Structure 1
Amino acid sequence: MSPEEVKKAGLEGSRRPPGHNPGGVLHQRRNMPFSNTTMAAAGFLIVATVGYLTLYAKKKPEATAGDVAKVSTNVARPEDTHPRK
């Protein structure tokens, strides 16, 4: 609105002077919505779930997810890598 339109509408008092924001910086929050501990635990659960689903998707029918994890971390023994009878 132009200054003339503001005067016609009688809204001079409703304007704020520049630089007088009520505490916000570009609409950012001052506090996080959850505690750091809660967000860290949620992040760990998400990473663990994605890791487990990745191992489960890569396993062969005769292998268990534990066998795949052993091979992935290089702690597998030969009996963990051969098909079961």
Structure 2
Amino acid sequence: MGPEDAKDGTKRAPGHEAGGVLHQRRKLPYSPATMALGGFLIVAGIGYVTLYAKKKPEARARDVAKAAANAAHPKDTHPREAPPEDRSRK
């Protein structure tokens, strides 16, 4: 293997020059605003399902959301009495 062969092995293919842009991206499938809105909706949905799954039977979903956002008053955090059962159908 002569010096000419060694130089041929170090040549780069066209389009692979040093100092160029390394990671070119093609066009995104959706606009960044649409993807941000979609991500927000996914996170909000997961949060809602998590809060709903952790709520106690006597608490309302609104009370749980207020407590999670630190916007609750003491009257919102105390359990309510369960509504009386309707015994007229029995």
TM-score by length of 2: 0.60
The alignment status of 1:33 with 2:29, answered yes or no, reads yes
**SS of the counterpart of 2:27?**
coil
Please give the root-mean-square deviation of Cα atoms over the aligned residues, in Å.
2.3
TM-score (ref. length: structure 1):
0.63
2:73 is equivalent to residue 81 of structure 1 = no
- Please give the secondary structure, in 1, of the residue aligned with 2:30: coil
- 1:20–1:74 Cα change, 3 Å: closer
Distance 1:79 1:70 in 2: 11
Matched, 1:19 2:19: no
- Runs (4+) off by over 4 Å: 25-28
Who is 2:85 aligned against?
none
Deviations 1:27-64 (A, max 9, x none): 96421111112111111111110111111111100001
Identity across aligned pairs (percent)? 64
Partner amino acid, structure 1, of 2:14 = G
Aligned residues: 66
Residue 55 (1) aligns with residue 51 (2): yes
Aligned to 1:9: none
Flag the structure with higher helix content. Answer: 1
Structure-2 separation of matches of 1:44 and 1:29: 24
